[in-house]
A and B are shown apart, each in its own frame.
Chain A
Amino acid sequence: MPIISCQNVKKTYVTGDIVVEALKDITLDIEKGEMVAVMGPSGCGKTTLLNCLSGIDDVTAGKVMIEGTELTSLSDDQKSDFRAKRMGFIFQFYNLLPVLTAAENVELPLLICGEDPKKARERAMELLVQVGLKERAGLRPASLSGGERQRVTIARALANRPALVWADEPTGDLDKKTSDDVVNLMRQLNTESGETFVIVTHDPEVGARCDRIIHMRDGEVISQNGAVHNIAQEIKELG
């Protein structure tokens, strides 16, 4: 059974008289342990798809199943719980809480789930070791570099041993070297722990490191098994 399954998902934004169809009847499956990239030109609906699949945004129509649970039928609180326990998030601008240290940021999802603080801290430290930031655990985000912040974000995403991790432009704010490091880390975690990664990205090199690529354009999935060069070609064609 696929870990993510969505059928005929639609998402429409209405602003005054203007109706924008951000997602048009999308149906797709993602298998457990896959590392999938969602690519496409700006405004094609990649982030909207990620938001709808992860439950942080509501769909206008259609059905989203995660690990057999129909996300679209859950209440807001149930969705929050589900996200806290079964999902991890990585954002382009890290979105760490500036007032908390790296370790505190990582343990936050565990505390949300009611984990014992001691165990939460142990787990946070374990993850920080895994992402190579053991020595930086006591520092606040302002004292970390971009790459380090993104590693903390990855550690935070993995804190609850989630079934799947959503990443929205995880390398968008990083230089090439750091970007490579971050993608390598995600790949390594995916391989070693078997977590499913869904990565929204513009970067063909990130796509190239994934198992497969979902191509999107104008709110539609145009290919679910695309290769990197196709995207590059598409971008070229679009000018």
Chain B
Amino acid sequence: MKPSYLALVLLFFFAGLAALAVLPLAYGMLAIIGLVTGFIIIDALRHGILFTMAKRNFIRRKGTTALVVAGLMIGTAIVSVSFVVGDTLDNMISNQVTEGAGNVDFVVGVKDPEGGYTFLNSSEYMDLSAKIGAIDHVTAAIPSVHTYLGAMSVETGLSSPSLSITGTNTTAWSGLGGWTSSTGQKVSDGPTASGCYIYESTAKTLGVTEGGHLLLALGNQTMVLTVEHLVKNHEVGQGNLTTNVFVDMDTLDAFIHTNGSYNIMFIAVQDKPGDKYAYNAEVRDQIVTVLHSYGPAIEFKTIFDVKAQLDDGKKNAQMFTQLFFVFGSFSIIAGVALVINIFTMLGEERKSEMGMARALGMKRADLRRLFTYEGMLYALVSSLVGTLIGLGMAYIMVFAVSDLINFGSVKLADSFTFTPFSLAAAFIIGFLITITTVYLATSRISNLNIVRAVKNVPEPPVPRKDRRAFMMGVLMLLGGLCLMFIGISFESIGPAMGGLSLMTLSLGLLLRKYIGDRIAWNIAGWLTLLLWMPLPWKIFDYGMGIEMFVVSGLFMVTSALIIVIFNSDSIVMFITKVFRVKNGYRAVIKTSVSYPLRAKFRTGLSIFIFGLVIFTVTVLSMISGIINVGIQNAITDSSGGFDLIAYKTTGTFPADPWDMMNDSAAYGLTGYVEGTNITKMVELGAMPVTVGGTTLASNGTVSHWAKGTTIMGFGSDFFTVGKFPLSQWNHTTYATENDVYLAAMSDPSLVILDGSWQQTAFMEFGPGGGSSVSVAVGDTITVKSIAGPYENVTVIGIMKQTFFNGVFMQKEHAASFYGAAGTTVMMIDFKPGLDVQDQATLLEREFIPYGVQTVNVNAIAKQVTKIIDSVFTLFQAFLSLGLVIGITGLGIITIRSIHERRLEIGMMRAIGYKKRMVVANFAIESAFIAALGIILGTILGVIVGYDLYQTAFANSSFDFQFVINWVPITLISLGAFLATLACVYPAARGASKVSPAEVLRFE
């Protein structure tokens, strides 16, 4: 290396280091790319003729260039989509949390067992307020009142059985920065004694407008308030504490009789310019210390932490983005395969001229330079175009998701955004993927034999005793071994299985010397494939994440492909025997199947692209099918065959609710629901309890556990009128499910649990997946009532349903021992022909004083299934981008094949091939490659789907069934197949027009 050149390299190297040190990572990387590009340009200027050749090659065939750029940019577009969707989710969560919370940073209170917050004397809260208010950076610590009440719009009649109500006033809330109206205006004054502020989304649900009236109900007591403002504030707590309505504190106090006591406290922390939540961590620690100082006497807890909620939300957004990456990575890998294919073919196309250049004295490094310059042009253009197209695609996808999936009250589309950082990162990743792949692909091309290149003679097959191939095998074996040991050391399945697979694949290179290519690669392919098949034993018993989906897909498709490629003769024989066509098309079938299988490398890559994408589509379709069927079964199991599940959230019914509906006037009801419209009704008593037990681990360790749940008291109608199948019971002791229920009915020490007690984790996958059952039939558990008494009971059955969580026992004992008297849950069947949703609304309105909420089982099933379908459809659509890569690749291959085989086409035409036979020949070639990829991908996808079902679904309490969702698989496969034919048809038609006389004469 010349000193000036070395100085230039060092200059750029240190400039890159400086950029990384000074700038944020993405911008630093962008700067490095700028430097690399600059370096290549300077190098190019020093090799002017090479750069000129590269430029001219780049624009040599404009159609091909466009096709290549289109293929190359897809990987970048996928990365760009993932980042922009992540930005948008981030933005939505930030908006939702920060806007909704206003100035509230923390909420503290004492949780009661029924899910509400315990009221304490004002002195206790004032003491807490003083202590927290004294913490540095805390600007306000305001005690407040929070409760749930039934509500109805006086004007529209629309109602809600349980709205979250917060009592406050101007003095209290001013310390928290007041409210923000739905129009974005600041509202500093609190609601008047006869007014309320209502969260804009709740107002929309109830049809309430400013100036309208809202009726609040508690038992038989009601009050009507004027809606003074629709406000954005709502998210001042997690889950139950999300506020729907703000009411004057004294008004609420008088209505729910709190007698001046409080049950929550809002805390605001000073904002730091540039970082709103800079002091939150420090304040949080001090708040926790203060809360702990009250000891067990008052169990104050942090109910809401805006920063934690924001972080959690962002973490969830990242998970979603990660899913896009995981699924998108298949398409990115497919894109890499396409880049290799494209440049290998460009190399083959220019082989003769490169050979000539080498003969004239051009070095191998010069050839690499030539391709690197050209690759850089491709990388720059395609990464730029890909980033922008990804941005557009993300916009479309965000709008699609926004309509399909409900993100609470917020529409995702309203939060669409992107950061320059994300676009820069997408550009960088796309550029690096392209340029690296191009460089590696061209290294192979530049190692050409000058004589063979000049004469354009094909490269001979790699001899069996080729030392380089053997050494590559040794390196691969050692690399795989290292990777496997790393995986074993860290108990990580990815490197362990990946390393082992590399080792089995290396056998192809190592053994070919002794037993020939076909047998060696068959051994390598079959062994590798076997590793990833569902086996009765686990090779590495480690947990695995979603990324294993990519790793397994990669190795399975690769090994299956090796098997196909190295058994091509048998495939050709099989196909020509099976497809008994007439009129000379047998010859067409023979040549069109033979060509792709001889060009192993390019065909292999094309099949790989199709196989990989269809594999993912198949697995996704299967998961979606299994989940949908499982959900439908679960809903059927949970509903017990009833139309509607209803439950009260407050108060006590004075009588049997069905009797109340039959005689509404006697019970002061309006009569919204006709009792005679109900054909069946089963009632359960319920009360919160704590359940504890012990678990014996396989290593002999005993661990104790406890969890809050509900005691459910049932009568005989629960299993005679309703139908709640069991997933587990002792078949020796009890012949039928009914016997189990009867046993529990007659003996209060015997209980039945809902299916969630044997829940299996969902996202675990492949070997090593699955988790153990927490509680099994025959176990003894301890159930403690909220009043204190406890008892040991034996589990004699576990239900399939997971909707009603709890311990099911004899009704009378549940009432006497746990206080689960009266009716809490109602399961209702209506007369045929009635609209269940209408009846549900009427029921909620009828029982507003009891905060009755309803669950329309079938509507939920439909909604959940629709959401799941939508999400999976979206991912499949995203994945299908990979198919665009495959189709583009095949288009390029066809164009190249036609160019390469003009002479052969001429000969075929001379000996009697008709024009349409030539068209058919090329169309069948592409169709054959696409079909092989589709078949491989589908078979492997079904195998992995089945494995997934066995490990993650089959043992779940949900009634999952193994189903193959053929419709989307067939639609996508058929679409890809037809698109392939459509894409190659023009080129094939062009081939048929080749004049035999001309090509035989001049080529």
Is B one of A's binding partners? yes
Q: Which residues of A contact B (CB under 8 A)?
A: 47-48, 51, 54, 56-57, 76-77, 80-81, 83-85, 88-89, 91, 93, 95, 97-100, 104, 108-109, 111-114, 117, 142, 156, 168
Q: Which of B15-23, B229-237, B733-741, B994-1002 contacts A (4 or more CB under 8 A)?
A: B994-1002
Q: Which 5 A-B pairs have the closest CB atoms?
A: A84-B912, A57-B997, A111-B587, A95-B907, A51-B997
Which residues does chain B contribute within 8 Å of A56, judged by CB atoms? 906, 909-910, 996-997, 1000
Can you identify 22 A-B contacts, CB atoms within 8 angstroms?
A: A48-B1001, A54-B910, A56-B910, A56-B996, A76-B915, A80-B909, A80-B913, A81-B914, A83-B911, A85-B912, A89-B910, A91-B907, A95-B903, A95-B904, A97-B907, A109-B911, A111-B587, A112-B911, A112-B912, A113-B584, A142-B460, A168-B1000
| Most B Cβ at <10 Å: residue of A47, A76, A112 | A112
Q: Residue B583 at the A interface, CB < 8 A? A: yes
Residue of A nearest to B997 (CB): A57
Asked if A99 and B591 make an inter-chain contact with CB atoms under 8 angstroms apart, the answer reads yes
Let me know if B995 and A57 touch, CB within 8 A: yes
Q: Given the interface contacts A95-B903, A111-B584, A117-B586, does A80 sit within 8 Å of B912 by beta carbon?
A: yes
Query: Contact at B915–A77, with CB atoms within 8 Å?
Result: yes
Contact string, B878-916, partner A, CB cutoff 8 A, digits 1/0? Answer: 000000000000000000000000011011111111111
Given the complex of chains A and B, what is the CA–CA distance between A99 and B597 in angstroms? Answer: 9
- Residues of A within 8 Å of B910, CB to CB, are 54, 56, 83, 89
Whether B594 is near chain A, meaning CB under 8 Å from some CB there, is: yes
Residue of B nearest to A13 (CB): B998
A124 CA to B100 CA in the complex, in Å?
Answer: 84
Whether the pair B587, A112 counts as a contact (CB closer than 8 A) is yes
Q: How far is the CB of A210 from chain B (nearest CB, A)?
A: 22
Residues of B with C-beta under 8 A to A168: 1000
A81 engages B1000 (CB within 8 Å):
no
Question: A98 near B911 (CB under 8 angstroms)?
Answer: no
B818 to chain A, nearest CB (A): 80
CA distance A48 to B458 in the complex (A): 29
A95 proximity list for chain B (CB < 8 A): 903-904, 906-907, 1000
Interface pair A142/B587, CB less than 8 Å apart: no
* A108-B587 in contact (CB<8A): yes
Chain A residues with CB below 8 A from B909, complex form: 56, 80
Given contacts A51-B1001, A100-B590, A100-B591, A112 and B584 within 8 Å (CB-CB): yes
Q: Hey, what's the 0/1 contact readout for B905-934 against A, CB within 8 Å counting as 1?
A: 011111111111100000000000000000
Residue of A with least CB distance to B916? A77
- Besides A111-B586, A114-B583, 4 more A-B contacts (Cβ < 8 Å) are A77-B915, A83-B910, A91-B907, A142-B458
Complex Cα gap A54–B913 (Å):
14
Interface centre among B584, B586, B587 (most CB of A within 10 A): B587
Contact present for A81 and B912 (CB under 8 Å): yes
Query: In the assembled complex, which residues on chain B have CB atoms less than 8 Å from the CB atom of A89?
Result: 907, 910-911
| Least CB distance, B588 to chain A, in whole angstroms | 8
Q: B residues bordering A, Cβ < 8 Å?
A: 458, 460, 576, 582-584, 586-587, 590-591, 594-595, 597-598, 903-904, 906-917, 995-998, 1000-1001
Q: Which chain B residues lie closer than 8 Å to A117 at the CB level?
A: 576, 586
Q: Contacts of A100 on B, CB cut-off 8 Å?
A: 590-591, 594
How many A-B contacts at CB < 8 Å in the complex?
A: 96
Q: Which of B460, B595, B914, B996 contacts A99 (CB 8 A)?
A: B595
Q: Check B1001 against A47 for contact (C-beta < 8 Å).
A: yes
Distance A108 CA – B590 CA, assembled complex (angstroms): 9
Q: Specify the chain B residue showing the minimal Cβ separation from A117.
A: B586
In the assembled complex, the Cα of A36 lies from the Cα of B203 at a distance in Å of 100
The distance in angstroms between the C-alpha atoms of A117 and B913, with both chains bound, is: 17
Report A160 CB to chain B, min CB distance, Å: 8
Tell me the complex Cα distance, A100–B458, Å. Answer: 15
- Chain A residue nearest to B904 in the complex (CB): A97
**Contact residues in B for A48 (Cβ distance below 8 Å):** 997, 1001
A140 to B, closest residue via Cβ: B598
In the complex, which residue of chain A has the Cβ closest to the Cβ of B995?
A57
B581 closest partner in A (C-beta): A114
Shortest distance from the beta carbon of B566 to any chain A beta carbon, whole Å: 16
Check if B590 sits within 8 Å of A91, measured CB to CB. no
| CA A97 to CA B910, docked complex, whole Å | 13
If A112-B587, A114-B582 touch, whether A84 touches B911 (CB-CB below 8 Å) is yes
User: Which of B458, B1000, B1001 is most buried by chain A, counting CB atoms within 10 A of its CB?
Assistant: B1000
Residues of B within 8 A of A84 (CB): 584, 911-912
Which chain B residues border A156 with CB–CB below 8 Å? 911
CB-defined contacts of B583 to chain A, threshold 8 Å: 114
Chain B residues near A54: list those with CB within 8 A.
910
Q: Do the beta carbons of A111 and B915 come within 8 Å of each other?
A: no
Chain A residues near B584: list those with CB within 8 A: 84, 111-114
With A112-B584, A114-B583 as known contacts, state yes or no: A51 contacts B1000, CB within 8 Å: yes
* Contact of A97 with B911 at beta-carbon distance under 8 Å, contacts A57-B997, A84-B584, A114-B583 already known: no
Q: Could you tell me the distance in whole angstroms from the C-beta of A18 to the nearest C-beta in chain B?
A: 16
A83, A93, A104: which contacts B912 (Cβ < 8 A)?
Answer: A83
Q: Chain A contacts of B915 at CB under 8 A?
A: 76-77, 80
Q: How far is the CB of A153 from chain B (nearest CB, A)?
A: 10
Alpha-carbon distance A237/B888, docked complex (angstroms): 57
A142–B595 Cα distance when bound, in Å, is 14
Write the nearest CB–CB distance from B568 to chain A, whole angstroms. Answer: 10
A219 to B906: give the CA distance in the assembly, Å: 23
Q: Contacts A108-B587, A112-B587 known; A98 to B458 CB distance under 8 Å?
A: yes
Q: Which A residues touch B598, using CB under 8 A? A: 98-99
User: Nearest-CB distance from A12 to chain B (Å)?
Assistant: 13
Contacts of A83 in B (CB 8 A): 910-912
The reply to whether B591 and A97 contact each other, CB–CB distance below 8 Å, is yes
Q: A109 to B907, Cβ gap below 8 A? A: no
For A56, A89, A104, A109, the residue with the greatest tally of chain B CB atoms inside 10 Å of its CB is A56
Contacts of A112 in B (CB 8 A): 584, 587, 911-913, 917
Q: Which residue of A lies closest to B457 (CB)?
A: A142
| Closest chain A CB from B760 CB (angstroms) | 51
Nearest neighbor of B584 in chain A, beta-carbon distance? A112
Select A109's contact among B595, B912, B914, B1000, beta carbons within 8 Å.
B912
Beta-carbon nearest neighbor of B576 in chain A: A117
Q: How far is the CB of B1003 from chain A (nearest CB, A)?
A: 9
Chain B: which residue is nearest A157 at the CB level? Answer: B911
Chain B residues lying within 8 Å of A51, measured Cβ to Cβ, are 996-997, 1000-1001
> How many Å from the CB of A173 to the closest CB on chain B?
12
Q: Bound state CA distance, A217 and B594, in angstroms?
A: 43
A30 → chain B closest CB, angstroms: 19
Q: Specify the chain B residue showing the minimal Cβ separation from A86.
A: B912
CB-CB nearest in chain B for A57 = B997
Minimum Cβ distance to chain B for residue A41 (Å): 16
In the complex, residue of chain B having the shortest beta-carbon distance to the beta carbon of A113 = B584
Beta-carbon contact of A76 and B912 below 8 Å: no
How many Å from the CB of B921 to the closest CB on chain A?
11
B904 and A76 contacting across the interface, CB-CB below 8 Å: no
Q: Which of chain A's residues have a CB closer than 8 A to the CB of B914?
A: 76-77, 80-81
C-alpha gap A51/B910 in the complex (Å)? 9
Of chain B, the residue at the smallest CB distance from A96 is B907
CA distance A64 to B917 in the complex (A): 25
Most B C-beta atoms less than 10 A away, residue of A57, A109, A111, A156: A111
Q: In the complex, which residues of chain B have a beta carbon less than 8 angstroms from the beta carbon of A76? A: 914-915
In Å, the complex CA distance between A211 and B576 comes to 43
| Residues of chain B lying within 8 A (CB to CB) of residue A99 | 591, 594-595, 597-598
Q: Is the CB of A111 within 8 A of B590?
A: yes
Given contacts A97-B591, A97-B904, A104-B590, whether A113 and B912 have CB atoms under 8 Å apart is yes
Task: Give the residues in chain A near B996, CB-CB below 8 Å.
Answer: 51, 56-57
A169 to chain B, nearest CB (A): 11
For residue A13, give the distance in angstroms from its CB to the closest CB of chain B: 10
Closest to A75 in B: B914
Question: Chain B: which residue is nearest A100 at the CB level?
Answer: B594
Chain A min CB distance to B764 (Å): 46
B1001 — which chain A residues lie within 8 A by C-beta? 47-48, 51
